[in-house]
Amino acid sequence: MAATTPPDNDILFSRSLHHAHGATRALGGVSIGVGEGEILAVTGPRGSGKTTLLRCLSGQLRPDEGEVWFNSGPVHTLSTAQRERLRLTRFGWIGTEPALLPELKAWENAALPLLLAGESRRRARRVAAEWLDRLDVGALAKAAPRSLTRAQAQRVVIARALVHGPAVVFADEPTAALPATEGAQVLRTLVAACRSHGVTAVLASHLAECVELADRSLALVDGRPAAALPAAAYVTGASGASCSLSV
Ligand SMILES: Nc1ncnc2c1ncn2[C@@H]1O[C@H](COP(=O)(O)OP(=O)(O)OP(=O)(O)O)[C@@H](O)[C@H]1O
């Protein structure tokens, strides 16, 4: 049966996502729509399925069942190579650990998506330097990753996730490996950068501040939206809007 296309106003959309890692169920049916330029916080306790959801939405993982749509095109039916290309050109990814290539300088790490896309080194360096400036680590452009603090390195990772003008950025607990104060600052910088450039963001985070900064939030429990939980356990965003979701 042909899949029905998702609503036009959602840049990212999933329908009834199910996924298991071996015998462990990670997602038990998650349907969600994210509008262009929206910031969505995904919350939930350890093991609730946040990482698996972000990996399915970003095309890293093909769900066992269900659909993922980006820009009205199906992601779940793409080949591995097509999904890799989509990730490289239209998405940005920020993991928990600030993973940088140790043999490259900070600016080269930040410029990687542009260099891989065949941009000239000169232009890639200029654009990467602009992003490092915006993220308050411009002075560290020539630094080796080993000389950076974890918070500085994560800012370089954020620059790398945004440097190629992605449509959607996914961040999986981007501040969990950072000291609390620095983590909150990095999160605020990330959200501000997405907002000022109209980038849609899906942020998994345990920080209450993430929910406050986001437009909407989705709480997961055992791989399912926690819509049935009491209001106090299901926090909505600053706008007061809860996420459009169904199971
Ligand atoms: N590679 C894997 N192999 C086996 N089980 C896995 C794997 N990855 C995740 N799981 C299990 O799937 C469930 C969902 O995990 P997931 O990492 O998506 O949740 P999470 O909310 O991101 O958790 P955390 O906050 O700890 O990162 C958990 O029960 C987890 O143990």
Ligand 1 geometric centre to CA of 192 (Å) = 29
Residue 158 to residue 100: CA distance in whole angstroms: 11
Of all atoms in ligand 1, which is nearest to the CA of residue 52?
A: 18
| Counts of helices then strands in the chain (DSSP H, E) | 7, 11
pLDDT at residue 241 in the model? 42
What three-state secondary structure class fits 241?
A: coil
**Mutate which of 48, 53, 175, 206 to test ligand 1's pocket (most atoms within 8 Å of Cβ)?**
48
- For 158, the enclosing helix (H) or strand (E) is helix 150-162
Question: Does residue 24 have its Cβ closer than 6 Å to ligand 1?
Answer: yes
pLDDT at residue 117 in the model? 93
Count of CB atoms situated within 10 Å of the CB of 8: 7
In this structure, of 84-88, 175-179, 218-222, 236-240, the range with the lowest mean pLDDT score is 236-240
SS (H, E, C) 8-77: CCEEEEEEEEEEEECCEEEEEEEEEEEECCCEEEEECCCCCCHHHHHHHHCCCCCCCEEEEEECCEECCC
Q: Is the pLDDT of residue 237 over 80?
A: no
Q: Is the pLDDT of residue 230 over 90?
A: no
Q: Delimit the domains of the chain by residue range.
A: 10-246
Residues 27-69 pLDDT 10s: 999 999 999 999 999 999 999 999 999 999 999 999 999 999 9
Tell me the average pLDDT of the chain.
89
Question: Does residue 48 have its Cβ closer than 6 Å to ligand 1?
Answer: yes
SS (H, E, C) 203-215: EECCCHHHHHHCC
Give the model's confidence band at 242: pLDDT under 50 very low, under 70 low, under 90 confident, else very high: very low
CA angle 122, 113, 211 (to 5 degrees): 125
% of the chain surpassing 70 pLDDT: 89
- Judged by phi (left if over 0) then psi (alpha if -120 to 50, else beta), residue 66 lies in left
Ligand 1 atom 9 nearest Cα: 21
pLDDT at residue 244 in the model? 37
Cβ-contact 62, 76 below 8 angstroms: yes
Residues 93-133 pLDDT 10s: 999 999 999 999 999 999 999 999 999 999 999 999 999 99
Ligand 1 geometric centre to CA of 46 (Å) = 8
What three-state secondary structure class fits 173?
A: coil
In this structure, of 85-99, 100-114, 147-161, 220-234, the range with the lowest mean pLDDT score is 220-234
Taking residues 218-243, report their average pLDDT. Answer: 60
Q: Is the pLDDT of residue 213 over 80?
A: yes
- CA torsion angle for 104, 97, 222, 30 (degrees, to 10)? -30
Q: Is the pLDDT of residue 85 over 60?
A: yes
Taking residues 211-221, report their average pLDDT. Answer: 94
pLDDT at residue 3 in the model? 56
Q: What is the CATH number of domain 10-246?
A: 3.40.50.300
Cα dist. 133→2, 116, 152, 187 in Å? 47, 22, 12, 16
